[in-house]
Amino acid sequence: MFPGRHFRDVAPRAVPVGQRETAMHEPASRDLTCDVAIIGAGTAGIAAHGAATRAGVRVVLIERGPGGTTCARVGCMPSKLLIEAARAAHDARETRAFGLAAGEVRVDGHAVMRRVRTLRDDFVASVCAGLDDIPAELRVSGTARFADPTTLLVDDHTRITAGAVVIATGSSPSLPAPLRPVADSVLTTDTLFEIETLPDSLAVLGAGPVGLELAQAMTRLGVRVTLLDPAGAVGGIRDPKVAACAASLLGNEIDLRLGATVESAERVGDEVRLTWRLESGEQGSGTFSRVLAAAGRPPNLSGLDLAAAGIESDEDGLPDFNPRTLQCGTAPVFIAGDANHERPVLHEAQRQGWVAGGNAARFPQVEAPPPWPAFGLVFTDPQIAAIGEAFDAESARDWVVGEASFADQGRARAMDRAAGLIRVYAAPDGRLTGAAMIGPGIEHLAHLMVIAVQEGWTAATFLDRPFYHPTLEEGLSSAVKAVAEQTGGTR
Alpha-carbon gap, residue 463 to 489, rounded angstroms:
9
Q: What confidence tens digit (pLDDT) does each residue in 128-149 have?
A: 888 888 998 999 999 999 999 9
Strands 271-278 and 421-426: unpaired
Pairing of strands 201-205, 224-229: parallel
Mean of the pLDDT values across residues 193-214? 97
Q: Is the distance from CB of 211 to CB of 204 less than 8 angstroms?
A: yes
Is the bond preceding residue 66 a cis peptide, omega within 30 degrees? yes
Instruction: Say what the pTM is.
Output: 0.91
* DSSP per residue, 416-473: T----EEEEEE-TTSBEEEEEEEETTHHHHHHHHHHHHHHT-BHHHHHSS---SS-TH
Specify the pLDDT at position 71: 86
| More confident position, 66 or 166 | 166
491 falls in which pLDDT band (50, 70, 90)? low
Whole-number Å distance between alpha carbons of 279 and 344 = 29
Rounded-to-integer distance, Cα 483 and Cα 296, Å:
35
- β-partners of residue 268 are 271
Is residue 151's pLDDT more than 60? yes
Q: What is the pLDDT of residues 5-62, one digit of tens each?
A: 333 333 333 333 333 333 333 445 789 999 999 999 999 999 999 999 999 999 999 9
Do residues 339 and 328 make contact, with C-beta atoms less than 8 angstroms apart? no
Contact yes or no for 356/335 (Cβ under 8 A)? yes
How many other CB atoms sit within 10 Å of the CB of residue 24? 13
Percent helix, strand and coil across the chain, each to the nearest 5: 35, 25, 40
For the residues 162-176, what does the mean pLDDT come to?
95
Q: Are 365 and 345 in contact, with CB atoms under 8 Å apart? A: no
From residue 425, how far is each of 18, 146, 396, 431, 449 by CA, in Å? 54, 45, 8, 9, 11
- Residue 232, Cβ neighbours under 10 Å: how many? 13
Exposed, middle or buried by CB within 10 Å (0-12, 13-18, 19+), for 17? exposed
Provide mean pLDDT across the span 292-320.
Answer: 92
Size (the chain), residues? 491
Q: Residue 410: its pLDDT value, please? A: 96
Amino acid at 468: Y
The region of weakest confidence among 65-74, 156-165, 247-256, 340-349 is 65-74
pLDDT of residue 72: 83
Per the prediction, the chain carries an average pLDDT of 91
Question: Domains of the chain, with CATH numbers?
Answer: 17-65+142-173+298-362 (3.50.50.60), 177-293 (3.50.50.60), 375-487 (3.30.390.30)
Please give the share of the chain, as a percent, with pLDDT higher than 70. 94
CA distance 319 to 305: 11
* pLDDT for residue 3 is more than 60: no
pLDDT of residue 346: 87
Angle between helices 43-54 and 109-131 (to 10 degrees): 20
Question: In this structure, which amino acid lies at residue 168?
Answer: A
Q: Averaged over 190-204, what is the pLDDT?
A: 97
Q: pLDDT, tens digit, for every residue of 375-421?
A: 999 999 999 999 999 999 999 999 999 999 999 999 999 999 999 99
DSSP of 177-223:
GGGGGGGGGEEETTTGGG-SS--SEEEEE--SHHHHHHHHHHHHTT-
pLDDT number for residue 28 = 58
First-to-final CA distance of the chain: 34
pLDDT of residue 488: 86
Residue 19: predicted pLDDT: 34
> Residue 225, class by beta-carbon neighbours within 10 Å (0-12 exposed, 13-18 middle, 19+ buried)?
buried
Does residue 102 carry a pLDDT above 90? no
pLDDT of residue 298: 92
